[in-house]
Amino acid sequence: MTGAAAHPGLAGIGVGRRGVVGPVRHVRGGPELPADEPAPTDPEAAVARVEEALGDVRADLTARSEAAAGSTLGEVLGAAALMAGDPALAARAAELVRSGTGPAHAVHDAVEEFAATFESIGGYMAERVTDLRSVRDRVVARLTGQPEPGAELSEPAVVVARDLSPADTSALDLSLVLGIVTEEGGPTSHTAIIARQLGLPCVVRAAGATGLPDGGIVAVDAANGRVLLDPDDDVRREIEGRTAALDALESDREPGATSDGHAVQLLANIGTVEDAERAAATAAEGVGLFRTEVLFLDAAEAPTVEDQAEAYAAVLSAFSGRKVVVRTLDAGADKPLAFANQDDEDNPALGVRGYRLVRTMPDLVQDQLRALAQAREQAGEGAAELWVMAPMIATAAEAREFAAAAQEAGLQGAGVKVGVMVEVPGAALRAEGVLAEVDFGSLGTNDLAQYTMASDRLLGGLADLLDPWQPAVLDLVARTASAGVAAGKPVGVCGESAGDPLMALVLTGLGVTSLSMSTGALAEVRHALRSHTSAECEAMAQAALAAGDAGAAREAVARLLHADVREVLGI
């Protein structure tokens, strides 16, 4: 942004490429705990009040979840509703009340105990602490007669908060939300996910954001991760011009390819049947990542083969004539499923998760493969090509075992391919042997960065280490892509980096054959590819690999970007 130097503003992590100018509206924080809340004179009546408040909050969150059914927001609201209805939480609060703690403090203390446990687990569970505390705030508000957290919007505005929970977001009139700025969170936080889904300019981890004056005019520049107070006319014109240029890109529905015709499939990431139906109506050339565990986040028992097959068949039918890459259950660690929980592990991110479930729950893996084979038959002729891949593959032997299990389940023949995800550094280092056992590979760059840099990918404070531009991560991507080229087997990318137009050029130059992303990023990535030759992409890849750190790698590639593309994307 040309005006950014004159207006340093706040720096954070941008989500998307868009920008917006508008007035600040702060989200109201949680209620105040009563400083002198007395011990209850009638403990059982106080317990009943706590249980009633928890039930009311659960009912409210459930209703909001149902109203947002089929969306990411609906899914996370449903998860928050389950937290409000957790019998263990209610039991601990009741125990504290009976021991003499006032009801509001009992709820607060019980939630903090659970939050500490979630944070110690890390990953997905640590990310859900914001949702848990949102439940607490709503219960405490009801118990003390205070207003619940939120913001009432009467005009289009930029929403500013320390962080946003799903309930906070659902309480907003999203038609009036111009952009989002938070002090906390990270690129994979709930706020970032919702912003991508809605196409809203967003900057997370913007230190000092809650100090912005309410009603003050700010420019939110997601492309550069900046929030500028009182932007001048130059900044406004640049944002307006970029928005118009990005809107114009949406009309291009051509397949992904470089300017000299080198094809790179542009695919969509999905998690539900509803996601698939929406994505099928876009210019996505298929699905590059179907996160099947999302279908069963709320399930207490393992889904039947028949239930799974019905859902998978619906997705295959939605993408008739295209391809759908299905990831088998990636349960465990940051994606806990009630029916796939393991015994307590000291380090679940390095424990039994993904394909490793075959060690403890082989029937779960086998049933899913059988369900996929049935789904292919149910979808019938003309359905999407079915590609199936296993997550967390670490060795060639595991790849061989998975391929054999898929074949035994009936996943073989024309229209079916079996592959693996490469997200463990060991698999990337020995990619030649791993790919020799299967039909294709798919790089999960989120987890690959996490394991390469020994940094929890959901811990916003380590975002610099988790940057996909880190040279060590790029080295492993390059090694895997090179192995795919040598073997004549496709290697795609389905992590967040695939949706970055600048990184997409580097990945193409490294030999990656497909890029899977949120549908909102398709137009920008397509434009970047169609504006550069394959040779230019290769030069960008080499420039990135030669850099000494993540920032230098990105800057080296940005210098090679065509000026008109740089202007449109705000780079």
One of 7, 26, 105, 494 is an active-site residue; which one?
494
Length of the chain: 571
How far is the C-alpha of 409 from the C-alpha of 403, rounded, in Å?
10
- 3-state SS assignment for residue 418: strand
Bridge partners of 519, per DSSP, are none
How far is the C-alpha of 444 from the C-alpha of 421, rounded, in Å?
6
Calculate the alpha carbon distances from 394 to 28, 354, 397, 420 in Å: 46, 11, 8, 10
One of 26, 105, 190, 532 is an active-site residue; which one?
190
Instruction: Tell me if residue 527 is catalytic.
Output: no
Task: Check: CB of residue 152 under 8 Å from CB of residue 170.
Answer: no
User: What's 369-385 look like in SS3?
Assistant: HHHHHHHHHHHCCCCCE
- 3-state SS assignment for residue 554: helix
Give the containing element (helix H, strand E) for 153.
none
Instruction: Tell me if residue 494 is catalytic.
Output: yes
Task: Check: CB of residue 183 under 8 Å from CB of residue 531.
Answer: no
How far is the C-alpha of 321 from the C-alpha of 382, rounded, in Å?
6
DSSP string, 101-125: --HHHHHHHHHHHHHHHHHHH-HHH
How far is the C-alpha of 205 from the C-alpha of 59, rounded, in Å?
31
User: What's 203-223 look like in SS3?
Assistant: EECCCCHHHCCCCCEEEEEHH
DSSP-derived secondary structure letter, 442: E
How far is the C-alpha of 455 from the C-alpha of 111, rounded, in Å?
26
User: What's 457-482 look like in SS3?
Assistant: CCCHHHCCCCCCCCHHHHHHHHHHHH
Rounded to the nearest angstrom, the gap between the alpha carbon of residue 453 and the centroid of all alpha carbons in its chain is: 19
Q: Which two tokens stand for residue 455?
A: 């940094």
Question: Residue 116's CB: how many other CB atoms inside 10 A?
Answer: 10
Tokens 């799903």 label which residue? Answer: 166
Task: Check: CB of residue 265 under 8 Å from CB of residue 514.
Answer: yes
Point out the residues that are catalytic: 190, 494
